[in-house]
Structure 1
Amino acid sequence: MANLKFPDGFWWGAATSATQSEGTVAGDGKGDNIWDYASRHYNNRFFDGVTTQETSRFYTDHVADIDRMKALGLNSLRTSISWSRLIPDASGTVNPLAVQFYRDVFQRMRDAGIAPFVNLFHFDLPMYLQTEGGWENKATIDAYARYAKTCFELFGDLVDHWFTFNEPMIPAEAGYLHDRHYPFVVEFKRAAQVLHNIVVAHCRGIEAFRASGLTSQIGIIMDVIPVYPRSQNPADLKAAHMADLFYTKSLNEAILKGHYPSELNEVLTQYGQRPEAVSAEELALIAATKIDLLGINYYRPRRVKARESLPNPEGVFAPEWFFEPYEMPGRQMNTSRGIEIYPEALYDIAKMIDRDYPGIPWFVSENGIGIQDEARFIRDGMVQDDYRIDFLKAHLACLHRAISEGSHCLGYHMWTFVDCWSWMNAYKNRYGFYRLDLATGEKTLKKSGVWFKQLIQANGFELTQTE
């Protein structure tokens, strides 16, 4: 039996986002974002056709939900501001009902001892910007900088931890290359331009924050998928290197080191895939921009091997031209999502940060397990989600090991507090400490929530040798 204690002041919390939790009600003044639009107009792509209309009802339930957070003992929670709720149309006029809502949320959280960690952008671009070209249009960068400045002015007195973007790779990769998110474009060069423009917008957001005079912190939330080669064969190692270059270092080095990897520039030049609208001034801004805090989202590893066939030279250029997925025999799977469960990667991520980006304070900003048909595990009115407790123990044990070896990890936020609407999957998989009854809106604590409360109270947990 090992008693795993975490550092004093460790951030124990959860994470969510505006679009996935708030919902809408008549007269709230909210404008459409791309998810509102897509879930209606491409409804067949969304599991059971569930739209963003209700999601987890945080807009109407936030008072009771914050009481629920307090009852669990959370000392922090990451959420986001809905850009299209705050600034509903192209006029730039601020929605007073949104200001009232967010100020009430952040004040109630503070009063409950829950630090609000506030993200400015979680995939939810306003439709009035998307119709003008979205993140391909440089004007969106300017609009984002104005939006960020507005948020700092309106809520800066209530928020101590700000984040510019959640998973900035996703709007580019999922929306402009791999046909997973609206606008369902499949073209690498456009995806690369979108990613670059988001990086510049991040820098402009940091610039606006520094100019605001706020003494709080600002950072970014990154999605990290550690890459593991099938073997130590040089071809497999090269495949892993290329996967890491495209999906991790392309973004990490721009944000954390101030420049794009030279090797990536060489590859994109060789294949004629470099984005064209990249200025010297933008590269200088990227080089000069520093963050205060890094959030790391982790769900799964990426296992790759050398390709066994040549890519179609007439096909769509993609990172997968240089590697292909490898399914490791004996891997532990979450069959609901079809992804591998590999807790040891949290340790590897911590070591990667120590090695490649030393001195940057960080925390686990998302980690969680989504399970389909969780209602089958209800006993005596409570979801008996022992699998989620086991998931938490395994991942936290690996994180604790890294911290004990000196990793500067400041906290752990589970995804998520209440079962939430999850993009194309809608409510297919459930992630929360609280179960949401879609028909009634009732929210009931799961067994994992009871365990997480005990974890927070003890600032650690006991791990047996068999776990």
Structure 2
Amino acid sequence: MNSSAILNTAVTSAVPLPNVTRMDFPSNFVWGCSTSSFQIEGAALTDGRVPSIWDTFCAKPGAIRDGSDGSVACDHYHRWPEDLDIAKQLGVNAYRFSIAWPRIITEPGGVPNQQGLDFYSRLVDGMLERGLQPWATLYHWDLPQYLQNLGGWENRSTIDAYLSYVDVMTRHLGDRVKHWITHNEPWCTAMHGNWDGMHAPGKKDFKVALQVAHHVMVSHGLAAPIIRANVTESSVGIALSLHPLRAASKNEEDQEAMQRHDGLRNRWFLDPLFGLGYPLDIQAHCAEYLPEMLPGDMDAIAVPIDFLGVNYYFPETISAAPQNPPLHTELKLLADRERTGFGWEVAPDGMQELLCRIKQDYPSIPIYLTENGSSYDDHLDQDGQIQDTSRRNYFIRHLDALKQARQSGVDVRGYFAWSLIDNFEWAEGYLRRFGMVYVDFATQVRTIKQSGYWFRDFLQLKK
């Protein structure tokens, strides 16, 4: 998920809760929870795994707010049966996970690591035994460090390495896993990793960021036919982090700034995905930073997909900022807005607005909410309970917005809550808790929160 910190003060709201039930959605609607490998697995030196760019980034002084790392995280590598049992207990019918590339291909051009393959076989079999439909994400930011040493996603050869890895994984799991997400949030891979430096590998070069974004999107397009060749009845998509935008004012400068920000934040990824190429206005504005491209690249990116994954968290308010090249924009924080403990605005209407915009601006495509959730400062009370009422209310309000989007004709077919369990929240370390399940990171004890019990009750069909 996108871990760019905005503000660290939660602001709550007394907005009346809407009435939304499981019966407001079709019987075949997908209800899931999402996780990612580096954030939960731990076992950094176990069974042949090699370092990822996040292991290296965590070792950099000051990179992680609490000075922690993901070497243990939630120890999911050893505790996955318990975590899948909890997912089943919550009543979800799908489980979105990501595969750690550094567990599979441990050196440039190397043969697959059987221990890594075996782990994901056990994990997928465990999902199926519990009635959980596996949704696999092939890349959730943990690039092997040996590839970063060769230039990472800036180097076009990483595309070839990725395709080899995709081929291995889809051949290995394709008999059991039918739903595949090529990349999670290419914006974060490119921009947080290479422009603002908040994420691994920690670079601050806008031209590099655009080159990385291009190579990631090309790799997505080239991976799709490999997946389809290896997996019968496959369903292939990509998960994008998208934000509805508001201009800070009605003046022309802020309106234009919002358009520029939208061009890079949303359209730079959506437009080429649907065959429209990179936005011409952003190409003109950022002409000196444009990526190197080869003939056929844009056709590759525009390969048909079976679904679009949308990760929605919050809207952004944008103003003009001539002092901030190259976009000359800045994010404005409006003090009167309700916010999570992470400082992210709570705006269920933004979800509905975003989904309706996708329906209006792009070809018809099935949509899954592949991430949606909130971070609050959860604590165990004296009875060993976690009363995370704000997160429960967040789910209620956003599911109502999802219901309304569907009623407006948006083809949304599933919802994945972020996240199943508290985890390593990237540059924030263990300071942020998004889980429906509380994790005591000292003991690894799991405790279902109030929001998790609410989600369980919501999913139970009343007879």
Q: Which amino acid aligns with 1:17?
A: S
Deviations 1:336-388 (A, max 9, x none): 3122111111100110111012420011111111123x22x524111111111
Tell me if the contact between 1:333 and 1:340 (Cα under 8 Å) persists in the aligned partners.
Answer: yes
The residue that corresponds to 1:62 in the other structure is: 80
Length, aligned pairs only: 444
1:44-55 aligned within 5 A: 44-55=62-73
The residue that corresponds to 1:429 in the other structure is: 432
Q: Which amino acid aligns with 1:326?
A: K
1:151-166 aligned within 5 A: 151-166=169-184
Q: Distance in 2 between matches of 1:274 and 1:86?
A: 33
Matched, 1:145 2:163: yes
Tell me if the contact between 1:367 and 1:413 (Cα under 8 Å) persists in the aligned partners.
Answer: yes
The residue that corresponds to 1:399 in the other structure is: 402
Tell me if the contact between 1:225 and 1:298 (Cα under 8 Å) persists in the aligned partners.
Answer: yes
Where 1:304 maps in the other structure, the secondary structure is: strand
Report deviation, 1:212. Answer: 2.5
Give the direction of change, closer, same or farther, for the CA distance of 1:212–1:338 in structure 2 (3 Å limit). same
The residue that corresponds to 1:31 in the other structure is: 50
Give RMSD over aligned pairs: 1.8
The residue that corresponds to 1:311 in the other structure is: 323
Q: Which amino acid aligns with 1:340?
A: E
The residue that corresponds to 2:25 in the other structure is: 6
1:451-462 aligned within 5 A: 451-458=454-461
Report deviation, 1:182. Answer: 2.3
Matched, 1:333 2:347: no
Where 2:285 maps in the other structure, the secondary structure is: helix
Where 1:163 maps in the other structure, the secondary structure is: strand
Deviations 1:69-103 (A, max 9, x none): 11111101111010001112224221111111101
| Identity %, equivalent residues | 33
Q: Distance in 2 between matches of 1:283 and 1:296?
A: 21
Report deviation, 1:225. Answer: 1.3
Matched, 1:265 2:283: yes
Report deviation, 1:296. Answer: 0.6
Tell me if the contact between 2:37 and 2:97 (Cα under 8 Å) persists in the aligned partners.
Answer: yes
Tell me if the contact between 2:91 and 2:456 (Cα under 8 Å) persists in the aligned partners.
Answer: yes
Q: Which moved more, 1:384-393 or 1:248-257?
A: 248-257
Matched, 1:247 2:265: yes
Q: Distance in 1 between matches of 2:146 and 2:184?
A: 21
Q: Distance in 1 between matches of 2:211 and 2:351?
A: 30
Q: Distance in 2 between matches of 1:221 and 1:459?
A: 32
Q: Which amino acid aligns with 2:456?
A: K
Where structure 1 has 5 or more consecutive residues not aligned to the other structure, the ranges are: 461-467
Give the direction of change, closer, same or farther, for the CA distance of 1:112–1:258 in structure 2 (3 Å limit). farther
Q: Distance in 2 between matches of 1:3 and 1:446?
A: 20
Matched, 1:274 2:290: yes
Q: Distance in 2 between matches of 1:19 and 1:78?
A: 14
Tell me if the contact between 1:236 and 1:304 (Cα under 8 Å) persists in the aligned partners.
Answer: yes
Matched, 1:93 2:111: yes
Matched, 1:293 2:307: yes
Deviations 1:411-453 (A, max 9, x none): 1111111111111111101111111111111111111111000
Q: Which amino acid aligns with 1:18?
A: S
1:437-448 aligned within 5 A: 437-448=440-451
Deviations 1:5-41 (A, max 9, x none): 212111111101011111116541111100112212x
Report deviation, 1:459. Answer: 8.3
Report deviation, 1:324. Answer: 2.3
Where structure 2 has 5 or more consecutive residues not aligned to the other structure, the ranges are: 1-17
2:204 aligned to 186, 192, 212, which one? 186
Give the direction of change, closer, same or farther, for the CA distance of 1:382–1:146 in structure 2 (3 Å limit). same
Q: Distance in 1 between matches of 2:432 and 2:132?
A: 27
The residue that corresponds to 2:347 in the other structure is: 342
The residue that corresponds to 1:464 in the other structure is: none
Report deviation, 1:153. Answer: 0.4
Q: Distance in 2 between matches of 1:173 and 1:391?
A: 28
Q: Distance in 2 between matches of 1:101 and 1:354?
A: 39
Matched, 1:302 2:316: yes
Where 1:328 maps in the other structure, the secondary structure is: coil
Report deviation, 1:193. Answer: 0.7
Q: Distance in 2 between matches of 1:395 and 1:162?
A: 25
TM-score between the two structures when normalised by the length of structure 1: 0.91
Q: Which amino acid aligns with 2:372?
A: N
TM-score between the two structures when normalised by the length of structure 2: 0.92
The residue that corresponds to 1:232 in the other structure is: 250
Where 1:241 maps in the other structure, the secondary structure is: helix
Q: Distance in 2 between matches of 1:3 and 1:197?
A: 41
